[in-house]
Amino acid sequence: MATQLSSKEDYESLLDKYDTWMFDCDGVLWRGDSPIDGAVEVLDILRKRGKLNQYPRKRLLFVTNNATKSRKNYKGKFDKIGAQVTVDEIYGSAYAAAVYISSVMKLPKDKKVYVIGMSGLEEELREEGISFIGGTDSADNTLETFTLANFTLDPDVAAVLCGLDTRINYTKLSKAFQYLTRNPGCHFLVTNEDSTYPTADGLLPGAGSISAPLRFALGEDPISIGKPAKTMLDCIQAKVNFDPARTIIVGDRLNTDILFGQAGGLATLLVLTGITSTKDITGPHASSIVPKYVTDSIGDLRALRSG
Amino acid sequence: MATQLSSKEDYESLLDKYDTWMFDCDGVLWRGDSPIDGAVEVLDILRKRGKLNQYPRKRLLFVTNNATKSRKNYKGKFDKIGAQVTVDEIYGSAYAAAVYISSVMKLPKDKKVYVIGMSGLEEELREEGISFIGGTDSADNTLETFTLANFTLDPDVAAVLCGLDTRINYTKLSKAFQYLTRNPGCHFLVTNEDSTYPTADGLLPGAGSISAPLRFALGEDPISIGKPAKTMLDCIQAKVNFDPARTIIVGDRLNTDILFGQAGGLATLLVLTGITSTKDITGPHASSIVPKYVTDSIGDLRALRSG
């Protein structure tokens, strides 16, 4: 059973145990465009704590599955709510997907990716020097009838990458399906598999729902980059030196954030400001995924205020 | 193992055994707009055979999962290829879905259906007197951003019905998701679950792929109307008196047509002019779904020509 935290001593003990703090963003630090009460102050408190001779005293990392935004877009979002965060503290599944394609898959320079996704995903691919088609291209953002006879298969497409795309349509799905079935060895990648996407006003279908048609049509599971997949942790570990035993991830979702932490040997802190509610973790229908700690909101850590 | 048919005697024996002949359409009688060679002649031969004192001598029924067309649309398609078929010989999943909603679900008259689908599906709902929203409504056929705050939930929507919709988009998926999660007891129905859709130029994502995002976001399977579901057979049995032991279904798809026949106690004849190829039914990777008979094409039955 998860340990419920509530007192200043509870949070102080957490600070003693963990130096690297990973945060999910949607549902933890904000919901849509509304910051969670106290989130900015808590990030500020954490930055000021820790051993004086250690730099950074506490390392903060922001690990998000939302692939509609690039790290730079995210930096802008942090700026807007008044949180001091640098681009290299941000790990998004769009960035991790681009790193995976260039460094793990080692996509040859003359090959390209067919993208179902938005400008943030394209920006990360561009920064990694990956050629792509599809995405925000107006030719693919249409509700006009898709006619297979008029479609020319690009033989250089060696991967389909699918993230949350709120302009999803039959042309994009059909083109992706052609590449995956007709270009031999074409890889099927998804940024993440979140079934839903939390907005300030409620839930909408998530990235996993956008790739679900391809998964269903192919009868095949994609390679997933974001939490809970280890690919995301590999991407962070390639850039940051941290001790998993002294690392904690704060998240709102059991089957992404908490599972990700557990698979990577990190401690896990569930907050109840996003997807998961008390009934999901207690009682007869509780999930089999049990976080190490629970607190109502990241704002609870304001108890750590000095004095 | 399936019995391979090839001689005139093979087909004559089939005619002796079966009075009611059910035909799948896409991949059996035509591919896209191209009729399968000999299909029209074979339908004609079958109509002329059988016991003289029996009417109809041979009963022909056309059982299709394609819900983009109404029975009237289908009649037009038969007319175009020169086949004499009446509307009441045609059973489409759009029609069966409408019958299911009015006769089995017994949707109250003040309730309505949210539709993801095309005009043929709407036509069948209208003919059964079922109120609906969504579908071809221009407000829902858009790639504009869907904003939950601007959406008003219609409390009278008691079911979401999803079929193949080549104008699928995030607004439709988001609205359907709201009804299914926020209107208590809202039913989740799909016309059929074909993963792919055969066109003259190749495969495209099918109706099952269109509903896959909702299934994934909800973590819940829908009620499926079309083959192989028994709902389709129930719909036919409510209108037509036939003896399953003297009925055969001719189809191109193992997991819809052949499974449907087997579940209903019908004989099954697989043709290889659509989705299924020889390698799917023979050798080490053969499907576990085994048809009773196989012939290359419906056109093979031209061997029955008199003389």
Tell whether B174 is within 8 A of chain A (Cβ): yes
According to the annotation, is A296 in a ligand binding site?
no
Confidence band for A269, pLDDT divided at 50, 70 and 90: very high
**B100 within a domain of the structure (yes/no):** yes
CA distance B208 to chain A (A): 7
Report yes or no on A30 lying in a domain. yes
Q: Do both B206 and B261 map to the same domain?
A: no
pLDDT of residue B55: 58
Confidence class for position A307, pLDDT limits 50, 70, 90: low
Question: What's the confidence (pLDDT) of residue B192?
Answer: 97
The alpha carbon of residue A199 is apart from the nearest alpha carbon of chain B, in Å, by 8
Domain match, A192 and A131 both: yes
Cα dihedral value B170, B217, B255, B26, nearest 10: -10
Into how many domains does chain A fold?
2
How far is the C-alpha of A204 from the C-alpha of A199, rounded, in Å? Answer: 7
Among B224, B251, B282, where does a domain finish?
A: B224
Q: Do B234 and B217 share a domain, yes or no? A: no
**In the prediction, which pLDDT does A117 show?**
98
Q: Is A201 labeled as ligand-binding? A: no
Pairwise pLDDT comparison (A213 vs B53), residue with the higher score: A213
The domain boundary, picked from A224, A240, A260, lies at: A224
Neighbours of B182 (CB within 10 A): 13
- How high does pLDDT run on average in chain B? 94
Give the pLDDT mean for B22-46.
94
Please name the residue of chain B whose CA is at the shortest distance from the CA of residue A205: B217
Secondary structure element (H or E) that encloses residue A188, with its range: strand A187-190
Q: Indicate the residue of A141, A143, A217 with minimum beta-carbon distance to B196.
A: A217
Is A166 in Cβ contact with B146 (below 8 Å)? yes
Is the domain of A15 the same as that of A129?
Answer: no
Do residues A150 and A203 both lie within one domain?
yes
Q: Mark yes or no for CB contact A169/B174 under 8 Å.
A: no
Same domain, B210 and B243: no
Cβ of B166 within 8 Å of Cβ of A168? The answer is no
CB contact under 8 A, A195 and B212: no
Check whether residue A152 and residue A219 sit in a common domain.
Answer: yes
Average pLDDT over residues A195-215: 94
In which band, very low, low, confident or very high, does the pLDDT at B100 lie, cut at 50, 70 and 90?
very high
* A275 inside domain: yes
pLDDT at A53: 61
Residue B72 belongs to some domain of the structure: no
B127 burial (CB, 10 Å; 0-12 / 13-18 / 19+) is middle
- B55 and B139 in a common domain: no
Could you say which of A148, A195, A200 has the minimum Cβ distance to residue B216?
A: A195
pLDDT surpasses 80 at B52: no
Q: What residues of chain B lie within 8 A of the CB of A170, using their CB?
A: 165-168, 204-205
Give the domain range for residue A190. 95-224
- Tell me, yes or no, whether B220 and B234 share the same domain: no
Q: Which residues of B are catalytic?
A: 24, 26
ipTM for the complex shown: 0.92
Amino acid at B45: I
Q: How confident is the model at residue B1 (pLDDT cuts 50, 70, 90)?
A: confident
Q: Domain holding A216: CATH number?
A: 3.40.50.1000
Rounded to an integer, the average pLDDT of B62-87 is: 95
Residues in contact with B293: Cβ distance below 8 Å, sequence separation at least 6, in sequence order: B2, B3, B4, B5, B14, B248, B267, B268, B269, B270
Are residues B185 and B278 located together in one domain of the fold?
no
CB A135 within 8 A of CB A163: no
Establish whether B8 is an annotated binding residue: no
Mean pLDDT of B19-24: 96
User: Are B45 and B166 members of one domain?
Assistant: no
Answer yes or no: is pLDDT of B307 > 80. Answer: no
Considering A206, A224, A242, which residue would you say is the last residue of a domain? A224
pLDDT at B285 over 90: no
The answer to whether residue B48 scores a pLDDT higher than 90 is: no
A130 to A104, A122, A173, A233, A306: CA distances (angstroms): 13, 9, 21, 21, 47
Q: What is the pLDDT of residues B205-233, one digit of tens each?
A: 999 999 999 999 999 999 999 999 999 99
For residue B70, tell me if it sits in a domain.
no
Chain A residues touching residue B182 (CB < 8 angstroms): 202
B contact test, residue of A144, A151, A166 with most B CBs within 10 A:
A166
Window 1-30 of A, Cβ < 8 Å to B: none
Has residue A119 got a pLDDT over 60? yes
> Which residue, among A136, A160, A174, would best test binding to B if mutated, counting the most B CBs under 10 Å from its CB?
A174
CA distance A272 to A295: 7
Q: What is the rounded radius of gyration, in angstroms, for the C-alpha atoms of chain B?
A: 20
Q: A219 and B195: CB-CB below 8 Å?
A: yes
Domain-located, residue A90? no
Mutual angle of helices B170-182 and B207-218, in 10-degree steps: 50
Verify that B41 and B107 share a domain, yes or no: no
| B150 → chain A, closest CA residue | A201
- Tell me the per-residue pLDDT of A134-164, one tens digit each, with 9 for 90 and over: 999 999 999 999 999 999 999 999 999 999 9
Question: Tell me: the pLDDT tens digits for B232-248?
Answer: 999 999 889 999 999 99
A201 at the B interface (CB within 8 A)?
A: yes
Mean pLDDT value across residues B115-138: 98
User: Sorting pLDDT into bands at 50, 70 and 90, what band is A50?
Assistant: low
Residue A83 lies in a domain: no
Domain contains A278: yes
Residue numbers in A near B196 (CB within 8 A): 217
Q: CA nearest A170 in B: which residue?
A: B166
* Residue B59 banded pLDDT, cuts 50, 70, 90: very high
